[in-house]
Amino acid sequence: MANIKDVARIAGCGIATVSRVINKSGYVKKETREKIEKVIAELSYQPNEIARSMTLQKNHIIAFILPNSKHLFFGELLYHVEEELFDYGYKMMICNSSEQLEKEIVYLDMLKNNRVDGVILLTNNDVEQYLNKKLPIVSFDRYFLNVPYVASDNFQGGILAAKRLLEHNCKNIMFIGDDAQGEHTDVLTDVSKRRKGFVNHLHSQGYENVINVEYPLKNYFVSVEQFESLLNPYQDVDGIFCISDSVAYTVIKVLEKRGKRVPEDVKVIGFDGGRSFNNLGMKITSINQDPLLIAQAIRKLILNYDVKDSNKKLIVPVKISEGDTA
């Protein structure tokens, strides 16, 4: 593979001049430039990016650490983040942690050893002690001390869900979620605001008796059977706000088993976008997280990273997406 020296030698000039041509920096006489460009084309020379990174001390690669690209929402987020970064001249490394702390640490170390210029972090683990706060890190949906973060407007999402259920004249309203996450895992999530916004709005409208159902986090996957017993005491609910579409999906299955009709007997609202679930025969009405807006917010924070404003937050608006369940 030809290098800059070859180009200089064949073009009969110094390597600095070649460099100037490549980077369009500094003055180069027109004829010299043309000569060099010709040689570059002939050799189909491409500057070695490793060497360039070496000199510039940055490589324009950002790592995205996330649990799992198999989940539809993550797959979408991944897609949009990569597009955003690409438009700004950055490449993206993908790191499926599978929620394993050890793997997350390996990837976080890539920031310290100059493998990448920045890290986007999406985790439920407490990686606080493995973060070098002087380096560019942006977190999605989780609070870490002095780490800027991006989250959907979960509070507003809760309000939207409450409004919708009240519009439908629901009288026995329930929230189902795992938002105690913060207490269970030591990692504070923005997701807990879904419940807060929901309950807040209901209270403000004079509705006080929200039924609060918690289910254990730590297994993303919940069975219909598990939920049946959880929901058993509440036979007469007519409006349910679920912390995710995944939960909403399972709840609807439980209701169907019970002989309830959705949405005629019970309204159900999920969270995420209602685009992730199979075999339901209907579209879940859901509070929509916008992966494109989230990606843009993440890109802004990571590419303009500055240690000084490491407590920046960017909150992305949500809206309710119309489905068949509420």
Partner DNA sequence: TTGTAAGCGTTATCAC
Partner DNA sequence: GTGATAACGCTTACAA
Q: Which residues bind DNA (CB under 7 A)?
A: 1, 3-5, 12-17, 19-20, 22-23, 25-29, 31-33, 45-48, 50-52, 54-57
Residue 70: how many CA atoms within 13 Å on its side-chain side? 5
Identify whether the C-beta of residue 108 lies closer than 8 Å to the C-beta of residue 89. Answer: no
Identity of the residue, 6 or 83, whose beta carbon is nearer to a copy of itself in the bound complex: 83
- How far is residue 211 CA from its own chain's centroid? 29
H helix or E strand, kind and range, residue 253: helix 245-258
Which parts of this chain interact with a copy of itself (CB under 8 A)?
A: 1, 46-51, 53-54, 57, 59, 61, 68-72, 74-76, 78-79, 82-83, 86, 91-96, 98, 103, 106, 109-110, 112-115, 275-283
- Shortest gap between Cβ of 10 and DNA (angstroms)? 12
Integer Cα distance of 234 and 229 in angstroms = 10
Shortest CA distance to 67 belongs to which of 141, 157, 162? 141
Half-sphere exposure of 287 (CA within 13 A, CB side): 30
Q: Which is nearer to a copy of itself, 79 or 143 (CB)?
A: 79
Helix (H, G, I), strand (E, B) or coil at 49: helix
Q: Residue 319 binds which one of a copy of itself, DNA, none, with CB within 5 to 8 A depending on kind? A: none
Two tokens at 54? 């070496």
- The interface partner of residue 12, options being DNA, a copy of itself, none and the CB cut-off 5 to 8 Å by kind, is DNA
As measured in angstroms, the least distance from the Cβ of 116 to a copy of itself is: 9
23 binds, among DNA, a copy of itself, none (CB under 5 to 8 A by kind): DNA
CB nearer DNA, residue 32 or residue 69: 32
Instruction: Choose from a copy of itself, DNA, none: what does 277 bind? Cβ within 5-8 Å by kind.
Output: a copy of itself
Say if strands 319-321 and 285-288 run parallel, antiparallel, or are unpaired. Answer: antiparallel
